[in-house]
Structure formats: C-alpha cells, structure tokens
C-alpha cells in the first residue's frame, strides 16, 4: 500500500489528508505535526477574548476521534528536520524526548504553515511579551490576562491581527496602543480608507503610534516595561507582537525545493513543487496572483483549505488545478467592516498597469430606512476597463460587495459588463442602486474622459 506523509496537521494538511483518504482507500495517510493541536481555526482566536467565540476548545474543526475515523494516522510533537528526497524519507525530531527518527513516503505533502516574524531587536522578549499564532499563544495570553489583570497593552504591528486584537482588548477594558513601523498600516488599503480606519480606532480610545521604529526595549525583572521608538516612549503592562508571518520552511533551506518570497514554496497549479513525489499547500507556499500571474506570499486560511483539497486529490491520482488567489480578505474593527480583493491602485501602478480608480461614499440602505450606515467603495480597473481590484469600508454589507467584486475579477469582467449586474435589492439591505454599482458608474465616467 503506497504511503502519503503529510507534514503539518492544520488547514492545508488536514484538508489534503482527508480528501486523499476519501478519494482512495489504496493509500495509507499519515499526518505529522510539530505541535500538539490539529485541525483548528487560528482566525477565531481574537474572538475568544471578546466572548464572541465560545472558547479555545470551540476552535477545533475535527476531534482526534473524527480524524481517526477518516482513516488518518496522526503523530504530534514531531518536527520535520530535513528531507532525504533521494531515499524518499523525512527526518523528524520527537519534541518530547529529543530523539530523531525517519519516516518513508511514496508521496509527501509539505503543509508546515507559517511562523511569526519578531523584530530583530535586542531584549524584545519577556514574561509579558506575546505573539498570537499557535493555540498555545492564545491560551497563554488568556491565562496572563486572568492572572495579572493588565490595564494597558502595546500592540506592535499594523495588520489584521493587530487591528482585531486592538478592538478585542479595548473591549476588555484595557488602554490600547498600536505601534507600527510603517505609516501604511493595513498596507493594502488605499490612503483614504486607511485614514478612516485610523480615525475609527482613535475614536474608540486606541492610541496610534504610526511610523514608530522601535530603537530599544526597556526591561525590568524579566518583563518588558516600555519600548523606545522614533515617536517616543511607549509603556504598557503587556506587549503583543503582530508584525506578520513568514513560511515555516527553514528545514528546506539548501535543498532542491525552490523557495520564493518570505521562504514560500513555489508550486504549480497542481500544487507540485517540481521535485518528484513532493507537493506543498497552505501558508508555507507562495501562490499565483490571478491578476498579475506572479507568485506572491499571501497566507490565508481559505487558500490553505482549497490548496489542501487540490493537493490531496492530485496525489491520489486525480487531476485538479488551483487557479490562484486575489488576496480577498475582510475584517471588522469596532463599527467598521473592511474588505479588499485584487490590487489596490498603488499596487496596480507598481505592477505596471495603466490603472484607473474611482471611490464613492454612499448609504447602505435607502435614506428613509432606519439604520442606514455609510459605506465607501473603491474599484480599480486597467485602461481597457478590466476590473482588477476593489475595496469596501463601512458600517455593514462589506462581505457581500467584496465577494461580488472577487467574482467579477475572477470572471474577467469589464466595468461596462459589471455595471449591469443584477444585484439584489430590498430596503433592509441596499438602496435601489447598490453602492457597488454607483462606484462602477463613477469609474465608467473616468474611463470615458
């Protein structure tokens, strides 16, 4: 019986293992993971702190019993150290006892995910310094908050986790400061939308230190007490580092598998690595951007699940292609929903597109209907009118509008095509002319000049 070895037991790895086991009973499927937790949803962690998710245990998608019922063998605390692709073996280390061992494979899927990026600054660690990446990070922060009752937190970074945790910890009663090296926090947002987000954070009591390069760390008795930055000193009771991630592929360096941006494995549409019998999927990979055709590092849970399904099917004899991504994403920060897909105007220009952009501000419902909120829409197209990106920020309805734009871009529609989309209308949900269409009309006018 041929054997599939999967390195990594979360979104991509477990999706691949499950589909391989379901597709063919002829394969033995074994999943190895360096940690102790399999098949869980990292994106839910901020909402455990806010009480919107039931608890950390609720984040598990599959129990060990369910995984076993699918015919999948699992081995936790098993860290991949190196590949011996010529012998079709992987060298692992048992993280409990430190011993190394080898596992043979007929097919190998690398789904090792990502690791957090920590600023390379002396002494940036301590009993009150955390990241939020593994499940143990979440439970560790939770235990710290319950024991120490911190009144203030400094969040380092300006991405999704930083913004989501700023809301969550603020609702927990803490004084929150965001310190980000770049002025362009949530960097893919256009400038106008980014300023709306900054204002929403500040209006809800979050202090913003933008363009604050950390120059030194002040510690006392094993704890960080403040950061020295180019914008001044930032003291806090505890610190959360949310400065991004990179691919967890250090064990592949120097080997035959090519690595791209942030250490990501570059795969083809079948999720093959180019090395015989080795596939890869998820946050350890660079993925093809549908608009540009180039590979980039865009780690998202939805992408990991889809790539895992494709890889598991192909490994067991199927033929399916993963077309790539648009980087579609959404988050909520206090009263704002923020969503984006494809390229922003600045990104489009950097990629060499002769790009045009229109932005509009509308209400989410008719003016006469109570509860109407403002929403801003931005849409980007090339000079031929092909839509290549969009962003939505407002009080409600961002998901539906960004999903529609993602479908439009994937389908290759032009502005003129999309202007005639038959979008749903009823006063509780939208004005008669949806804000998406209003923005498309504005963009069509720009193109006609």
| DSSP alpha helix (H) spans, 316-390 | 345-350
Number of neighbours of residue 91 by Cβ within 10 angstroms: 15
Distance between CA atoms of residues 386 and 374, nearest Å = 27
Any residues with CB less than 8 A from the CB of 224 and at least 6 apart, and which? 123, 124, 125, 126, 128, 129, 217, 218, 236, 238, 239
Half-sphere exposure (Cβ direction) of 253: Cα atoms closer than 13 Å: 7
> Residues for the chain: how many in total?
449
Number of neighbours of residue 202 by Cβ within 10 angstroms: 12
DSSP summary character for residue 433: S
Strands (E), 1-88: 3-7, 28-32, 72-75, 78-84
Beta bridge mates, 179: 156, 209
Q: 173: buried, middle or exposed (CB in 10 Å: 19+, 13-18, 0-12)?
A: exposed
Q: Which residues of 63-73 are buried (b: 16+ CB within 10 A; e: fewer)?
A: eeeebeeeebe
* Closest to 35 in 3D by CA, of 182, 169, 134, 179: 134
Q: Is 43 marked active-site?
A: yes
* Closest to 409 in 3D by CA, of 420, 419, 398, 418: 418
Half-sphere exposure (Cβ direction) of 43: Cα atoms closer than 13 Å: 12
Contact between 201 and 163 under an 8 Å Cβ cutoff? The reply is yes
**Active-site option among 43, 284, 286, 439:** 43
Distance between CA atoms of residues 398 and 150, nearest Å = 34
**Radius of gyration of the CA atoms of the chain, in A:** 23
Any residues with CB less than 8 A from the CB of 255 and at least 6 apart, and which? 82, 83, 85
What positions carry a catalytic annotation? 43
């Amino acid at each position: 019986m041929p054997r599939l070895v999967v390195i990594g037991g979360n979104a991509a790895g477990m999706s691949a293992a499950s589909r391989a086991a379901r597709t063919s009973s002829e394969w033995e499927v074994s999943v190895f993971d360096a940690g102790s937790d399999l098949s869980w949803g990292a994106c839910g962690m901020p909402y455990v702190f806010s009480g919107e998710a039931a608890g950390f245990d609720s984040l598990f998608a599959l129990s060990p019993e369910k995984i076993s019922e699918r015919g999948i063998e699992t081995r936790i605390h098993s860290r991949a150290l190196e590949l011996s692709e010529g012998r079709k073996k992987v060298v692992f280390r048992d993280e409990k006892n430190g011993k190394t061992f080898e596992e043979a494979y007929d097919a190998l899927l690398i789904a090792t995910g990502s690791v957090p990026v920590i600023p390379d600054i002396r002494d940036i660690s301590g009993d009150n310094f955390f990241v939020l990446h593994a499940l143990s990070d979440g439970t560790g922060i939770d235990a710290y908050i319950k024991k120490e009752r911190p009144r203030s937190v400094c969040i380092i970074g300006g991405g999704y986790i930083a913004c989501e945790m700023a809301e969550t910890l603020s609702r927990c009663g803490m004084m929150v400061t965001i310190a980000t090296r770049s002025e362009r926090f949530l960097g893919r947002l256009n400038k106008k939308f980014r300023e709306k987000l900054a204002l929403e954070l500040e209006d809800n009591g979050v202090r913003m230190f933008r363009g604050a390069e950390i120059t030194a760390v002040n510690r006392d008795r094993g704890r960080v007490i403040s950061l020295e930055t180019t914008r001044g000193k930032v003291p806090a009771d505890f610190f959360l580092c949310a400065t991004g991630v990179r691919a967890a592929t250090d064990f592949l360096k120097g080997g035959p598998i090519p690595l791209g941006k942030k250490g990501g494995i570059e795969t083809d549409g079948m999720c093959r690595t180019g090395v015989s019998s080795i596939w890869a999927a998820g946050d350890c990979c660079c993925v093809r951007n549908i608009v540009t055709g180039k590979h980039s590092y865009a780690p998202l849970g939805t992408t990991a699940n889809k790539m895992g399904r494709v890889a598991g099917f192909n490994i067991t004899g199927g033929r399916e292609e993963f077309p790539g991504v648009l980087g579609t994403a959404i988050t909520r920060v206090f009263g704002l929903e923020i969503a984006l897909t494809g390229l922003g105007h600045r990104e489009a220009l950097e990629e060499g597109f002769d790009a045009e952009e229109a932005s509009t501000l509308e209400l989410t419902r008719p003016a006469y209907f109570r509860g109407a909120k403002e929403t801003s829409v931005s849409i980007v197209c090339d000079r031929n009118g092909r839509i290549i990106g969009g962003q939505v920020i407002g009080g409600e309805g961002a998901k539906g509008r960004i999903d529609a734009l993602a479908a439009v871009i994937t389908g290759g529609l032009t502005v003129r095509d999309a202007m005639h989309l038959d979008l749903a209308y009823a006063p509780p949900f939208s004005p008669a002319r949806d804000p998406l269409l209003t923005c498309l009309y504005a963009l069509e006018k720009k193109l006609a000049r």
